[in-house]
């Protein structure tokens, strides 16, 4: 029987390749074009220089080893191989018995090899995984070669320091970091999340089995059966969401802080010191992405000299009583700018223990710190409150920062919550209940971010001033202001604010911070480009993660969430998705996917194959 070719649809490999290339090119080319456009608008750079930079960017991104080409080869190449593999199965012929005098021709040998290949029973999901495994291996090699070439070109030009709070040795180490590590960790975390979601789905009751027991086997189930079935689906969906939400909240908390067991082990082994995002923000900012460090700095509204002092305390270069010959000016200058005497920031003058601090505070005319030592809170808080009489109030500082962070968060989250609805379903804003829900979700997200900032600040004050240091005045403030004192307590406390956020958004928050936390946990020797073992391990992780993600996106889209679900749904199914066409429906699942086409084709091929 002659098979007519099917019309080209959104699931065709060429369509998948086109969407993948356009999306990946926009992701890689967009950030590079923004500074060029900004320079053109401001007219601070000559047009010829801008044109030269534009040519360099286009030449770099449009090469075969550019990001767009490598990702397109990895993703669309795997879909194309699966497509070829599936079509080859349409012509699989039964093996015929040959007489002893018959020699198989090359054509017959080819058919026998092809039949032998299809005699291995593989599911469509396995075929997608194996196909992507091959193409993504080539893709990561091309991508790493292109990134290394760009780094070599960049290092030949004089650059300013990327991290103003890092030392020269730190900057030198970052120059050798793998340029594809962040992408690999992003894919790894998303793949692990999809795997966890599949386990959660398998562990919860199956809706189909529940429907069979409730509604019976008749073609026209009763209304009562349908109602019970809907209630069962909602109950099962809520159970899955509760389990996932708890996992997401724990992941976010663990990434924002350092678990207590890790801190206990840190006293024994210094190799376990470098963990978690907030920890690295204060002590090793070069281990985090530059944009992430800048975002935390803006949100925390913390003077950089405070962070630098914390690093010097940890290194033993700034200590109470002994002073700091090379870094004494850090807080003395800050104290002067805040309108206080410079001696308030002198480590040689400030008391190290609360048991002997009262006389010093009386001499310095500082109130509110009886029984505690260390840097006055007037300097730590800064001018955020704006009222000089409240500079030393920890409660006023925390409350004012809460309000300020809430207003900043509203400006951030209102577009996040309302803009997609305005662009896709603007009429829903006319419905009071929908508009109220969006408003409540935006305020809830803003409250989460505000609590995140406030809980850190107030926990620091509770540790070094209000409670712990006051109860234990015999312990030096070199400890309370060190890595195991107020910083540890603040890092442990702020992550718990994730429980305020909407359960659906907890997942994206956890998946956003987890790659950065893993990156901060890796030993520096692992992430250097010269480390061959780490390079091979990264390639292995990239290949397995991308292969599993693409297989899940095609055959188990319900295991993907947020960004990964949106991206893979667009790449593999494009505009044919009900997800893209829906106006008022809340169901994001696709109407037609590669899974259904692959499954139907596979069933047809199995029927044609003896």
SS (H, E, C) 103-161: CCCHHHHHHHHHHHHHCCCCCHHHHHHHHHHHHHHHHHHHHHHHHHHHHHHHHCCCCCC
User: Percent of the chain beyond pLDDT 90?
Assistant: 22
Under the banding of pLDDT at 50, 70 and 90, the label for residue 528 is low
254 belongs to a structural domain: no
Under the banding of pLDDT at 50, 70 and 90, the label for residue 575 is low
**Poorest-confidence range of 97-111, 146-160, 334-348, 416-430?**
97-111
- pLDDT for res 447: 93
226 belongs to a structural domain: no
Under the banding of pLDDT at 50, 70 and 90, the label for residue 206 is low
* 478 shares its domain with 597: no
Q: Which of 114-128, 178-192, 526-540, 584-598 has the highest mean pLDDT?
A: 178-192
465 belongs to a structural domain: yes
Query: Residue 298: is its pLDDT beyond 50?
Result: yes
* 465 shares its domain with 494: yes
* 286 shares its domain with 337: yes
Under the banding of pLDDT at 50, 70 and 90, the label for residue 188 is very high
245 belongs to a structural domain: no
40 belongs to a structural domain: yes
Interval 244-258: pLDDT, tens? 666 666 665 555 554
3-state secondary structure (DSSP) of residue 177: strand
196 belongs to a structural domain: no
Name the residue range of residue 568's domain: 13-94+113-159+179-191+534-608
* 33 shares its domain with 141: yes
Count Cα atoms within 13 angstroms, Cβ side, for 599: 8
Q: What is the mean pLDDT of residues 468-491?
A: 91
* 376 shares its domain with 281: yes
Interval 227-284: pLDDT, tens? 556 666 666 666 666 666 666 666 655 555 543 333 333 333 333 333 467 777 888 7
Q: CA 325 → CA 235, 315, 317, 337, distances in Å?
A: 65, 14, 8, 21
Q: What is the mean pLDDT of residues 552-570?
A: 87
Sequence-distant (6+) residues with CB within 8 A of 123 are 602
Query: Residue 398: is its pLDDT beyond 70?
Result: yes
- pLDDT for res 230: 64
* 22 shares its domain with 85: yes
243 belongs to a structural domain: no
Query: Residue 173: is its pLDDT beyond 70?
Result: no
- pLDDT for res 589: 39
* 412 shares its domain with 315: yes
42 belongs to a structural domain: yes
89: exposed, middle or buried (C-beta count within 10 Å: 0-12, 13-18, 19+)? buried
- pLDDT for res 118: 64
* 476 shares its domain with 405: yes
* 335 shares its domain with 482: yes
Q: What is the mean pLDDT of the chain?
A: 75
Q: What is the mean pLDDT of residues 462-478?
A: 93
Query: Residue 98: is its pLDDT beyond 60?
Result: no
* 122 shares its domain with 18: yes
- pLDDT for res 253: 58
User: Percent of the chain beyond pLDDT 70?
Assistant: 70
- pLDDT for res 291: 74
Please identify, among 468, 494, 521, the residue that sits at the C-terminal boundary of a domain. Answer: 521
* 558 shares its domain with 456: no
Query: Residue 200: is its pLDDT beyond 90?
Result: no
Interval 365-376: pLDDT, tens? 888 888 999 999
Query: Residue 145: is its pLDDT beyond 50?
Result: yes
Q: CA 367 → CA 357, 374, 377, 390, 472, distances in Å?
A: 11, 13, 10, 12, 19
- pLDDT for res 162: 36
**pTM greater than the 0.85 cutoff:** no
Query: Residue 126: is its pLDDT beyond 50?
Result: yes
- Cα 590 to the chain's mean position, in Å? 25
Please identify, among 461, 489, 521, the residue that sits at the C-terminal boundary of a domain. Answer: 521
* 587 shares its domain with 512: no
290-300 helix and 432-461 helix, angle to the nearest 10 degrees: 80
How many domains, the chain?
A: 2
Q: What is the mean pLDDT of residues 74-93?
A: 78
Please identify, among 521, 545, 563, the residue that sits at the C-terminal boundary of a domain. Answer: 521
Sequence-distant (6+) residues with CB within 8 A of 94 are 115, 610
Query: Residue 210: is its pLDDT beyond 90?
Result: no
**Poorest-confidence range of 93-107, 457-471, 594-608?**
594-608
Query: Residue 184: is its pLDDT beyond 80?
Result: yes
The two tokens of residue 320 are 């109470």
- pLDDT for res 177: 65
Q: What is the mean pLDDT of residues 85-104?
A: 55
């Amino acid at each position: 029987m002659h098979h007519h070719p099917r019309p080209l649809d959104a699931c065709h490999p060429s369509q998948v390749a086109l969407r993948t290339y356009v999306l990946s090119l926009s992701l890689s080319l967009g950030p590079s074009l923004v500074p060029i456009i900004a320079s053109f608008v401001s007219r601070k750079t000559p047009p010829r220089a801008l044109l030269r930079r534009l040519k360099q960017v286009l030449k770099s991104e449009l090469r075969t080893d550019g990001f767009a080409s490598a990702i397109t080869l990895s993703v669309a190449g795997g879909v194309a191989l699966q497509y070829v593999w599936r079509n080859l199965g349409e012509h699989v012929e039964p093996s015929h018995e040959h007489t002893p005098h018959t020699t198989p021709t090359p054509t017959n040998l080819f058919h026998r090899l092809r039949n032998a290949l299809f005699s291995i029973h593989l599911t469509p999901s396995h075929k997608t995984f194996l196909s992507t495994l091959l193409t993504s291996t080539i893709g990561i090699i091309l991508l790493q070669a292109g990134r290394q070439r760009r780094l070599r070109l960049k290092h030949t030009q004089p650059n300013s320091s990327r991290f103003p709070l890092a030392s020269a040795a730190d900057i030198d180490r970052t120059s050798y970091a793998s340029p594809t590590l962040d992408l690999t960790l992003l894919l790894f975390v998303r793949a692990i999340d999809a795997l966890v979601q599949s386990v959660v789905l398998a562990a919860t009751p199956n809706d189909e089995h529940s429907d069979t027991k409730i509604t019976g086997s008749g073609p026209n189930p009763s209304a009562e059966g349908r109602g019970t079935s809907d209630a069962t689906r909602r109950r099962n969906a809520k159970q899955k969401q509760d389990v996932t939400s708890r996992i997401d909240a724990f992941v976010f908390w663990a990434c924002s802080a350092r678990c207590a067991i890790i801190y206990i082990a840190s006293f024994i082994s210094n190799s376990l010191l470098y963990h978690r995002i907030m920890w690295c923000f204060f002590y090793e900012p070069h281990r985090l992405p530059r944009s992430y460090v800048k975002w935390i700095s803006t949100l925390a509204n913390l003077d950089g000299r405070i962070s630098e002092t914390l690093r010097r305390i940890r290194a033993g270069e700034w200590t109470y009583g002994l002073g700091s010959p090379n870094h004494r000016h850090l807080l003395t200058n800050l104290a002067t700018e805040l309108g206080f005497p410079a001696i308030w920031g002198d480590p040689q003058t400030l008391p190290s223990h609360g048991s002997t601090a009262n006389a010093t505070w009386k001499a310095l005319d500082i109130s509110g710190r009886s029984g505690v030592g260390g840097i006055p809170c007037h300097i730590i808080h800064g001018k955020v409150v704006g009222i000089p009489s409240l500079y030393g109030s920890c409660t006023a500082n925390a409350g004012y920062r809460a309000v300020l962070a809430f207003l900043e968060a509203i400006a951030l989250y209102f577009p996040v919550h309302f803009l997609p609805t305005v662009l896709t379903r603007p009429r829903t804003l006319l419905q009071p209940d929908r508009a109220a829900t969006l408003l409540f979700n935006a305020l809830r997200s803003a409250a989460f971010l505000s609590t995140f900032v406030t809980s850190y600040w107030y926990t620091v004050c509770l540790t070094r001033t209000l409670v712990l240091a006051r109860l234990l005045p015999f312990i030096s403030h070199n400890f309370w202001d060190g890595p195991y004192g107020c910083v540890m307590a603040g890092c442990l406390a702020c992550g718990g604010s994730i429980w305020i956020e909407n359960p659906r958004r907890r997942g994206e928050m956890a998946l956003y911070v987890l790659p950065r936390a893993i990156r901060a946990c890796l030993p520096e020797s692992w992430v250097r480009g010269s480390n061959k073992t780490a390079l091979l391990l990264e390639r292995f992780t990239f290949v397995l993660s991308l292969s599993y993600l693409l297989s899940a996106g095609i055959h188990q889209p319900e295991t993907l969430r947020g960004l990964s679900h949106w991206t893979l749904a667009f790449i593999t199914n494009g505009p044919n998705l009900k997800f893209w066409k829906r106006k008022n429906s809340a169901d994001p699942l696709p109407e037609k996917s590669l899974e259904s086409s692959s499954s139907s084709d596979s069933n047809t091929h199995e029927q044609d194959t003896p």
